[in-house]
Structure 1
Amino acid sequence: MTKRDERGSASVFIVGMAITLVVVAGLVFDGGGALNARMTLADDVEAAAVAGAQATDEIYAHTNNEFRIDRDEAQDRAEAAMRAQGYSNFQVYVPADGSYVRVTATDTIGTKMLSLIGYNSFEVHATATAEPGIPD
């Protein structure tokens, strides 16, 4: 039998384990950051939708005894709420009947540890809808 040369095999193992540990740590650290950013975005989108839904058409409400959203004011309020939180990539939709406000947004979150292996950012999305009315 011939003797096999195993010099350097431990180095390959250590390098492989180091890369694996960086990836796992990156997923925990940066993945947790992305989840936190997603929750923050969801909260901000919901607040903007509620701000828009509070823009009721008062004349319509008094004459018809029913709540309807003033589309222009709702659009302005929801957009202002999103801009105040520093977002620029969002859409606000109010249908013609003024029955609800829908706000959708996307944000990009930079990574710290995963950037070491070339994964530089996460993209997070959130959508919220709010209707006019008196809260229960």
Structure 2
Amino acid sequence: MIRARVVSVLRRRDDRGTATAFVVGMAITLLAVAGLVVDGGNALNARMKLADDTEQAARAGAQQIDELALRENDVVQLDQAAAQQAASGFIARFGYNNAGVNVTADEVTVGASDRVNTVLLSLVGVRSFEVNAVATAEAVTQ
């Protein structure tokens, strides 16, 4: 009888600590998901702001129409120096990385990038996101 009791005690599994391991695993998973939501949302907002700013800079450049060519020849074309200066000045106010402006006879293209630092994902090694945007505006008179 004593032997049966010893065998019974030895056969029992020790489940102590199983719930703790489960709770720790779930906490890490929930923290990663929260990081994706919070930091991903911040990155999307930064991308939208960057896109808006590049669009506005391109429009500022595209408004610099060569009035002499328009009046004399009825041709819509840009004053390229003024367009370059207007677009570059507009986008420079925001301090974006790698901001660039390209001006042709009738279009202004502005591109820029920015880095968004993470809050929660930095706990798992993702320190920042890079966001980029390019916008083009065409010179028109209507």
Larger radius of gyration: 2
Match of 1:115 in 2: 122
Q: Please, which runs of 5 or more residues in structure 1 have no aligned partner?
A: none
Displacement of 1:57: 1.3
Displacement of 1:3: 2.8
Identity of aligned residues (%): 51
Per the alignment, in what secondary structure is the counterpart of residue 101 of structure 1?
strand
- Runs of at least 4 residues off by over 6 Å: none
Q: When the two structures are aligned, how many residues end up with a matched partner?
A: 133
- Find the aligned partners of 2:15 and 2:103 in 1 and give their Cα distance: 69
Per the alignment, in what secondary structure is the counterpart of residue 134 of structure 2?
strand
Match of 1:127 in 2: 134
- Find the aligned partners of 2:117 and 2:63 in 1 and give their Cα distance: 34
**Is it true that 1:49 corresponds to 2:58 in the alignment?**
yes
Give the 5 Å matches for 1:16-95: 16-95=25-104
Q: Please, which runs of 5 or more residues in structure 2 have no aligned partner?
A: 1-7
Q: What's the TM-score, normalizing by structure 2?
A: 0.87
- Find the aligned partners of 1:78 and 1:110 in 2 and give their Cα distance: 27
What is the one-letter code of the residue matched to 2:111? T
* Cα RMSD for the two superposed structures: 1.4
| Aligned partners of 2:57 and 2:87 also within 8 Å | yes
- Find the aligned partners of 2:122 and 2:36 in 1 and give their Cα distance: 11
- Find the aligned partners of 1:72 and 1:87 in 2 and give their Cα distance: 22
- Find the aligned partners of 1:134 and 1:16 in 2 and give their Cα distance: 62
Per the alignment, in what secondary structure is the counterpart of residue 45 of structure 1?
helix
- Find the aligned partners of 2:85 and 2:75 in 1 and give their Cα distance: 22
Per the alignment, in what secondary structure is the counterpart of residue 115 of structure 2?
strand
Match of 1:105 in 2: 112
- Find the aligned partners of 2:69 and 2:141 in 1 and give their Cα distance: 15
Q: Deviations over 1:93-128 (max 9, x none)?
A: 112xx1200111111100101111111111111111
| Aligned partners of 2:92 and 2:99 also within 8 Å | no
| Aligned partners of 2:66 and 2:78 also within 8 Å | yes
- Find the aligned partners of 1:85 and 1:134 in 2 and give their Cα distance: 28
- Find the aligned partners of 2:90 and 2:137 in 1 and give their Cα distance: 14
Per the alignment, in what secondary structure is the counterpart of residue 25 of structure 1?
helix
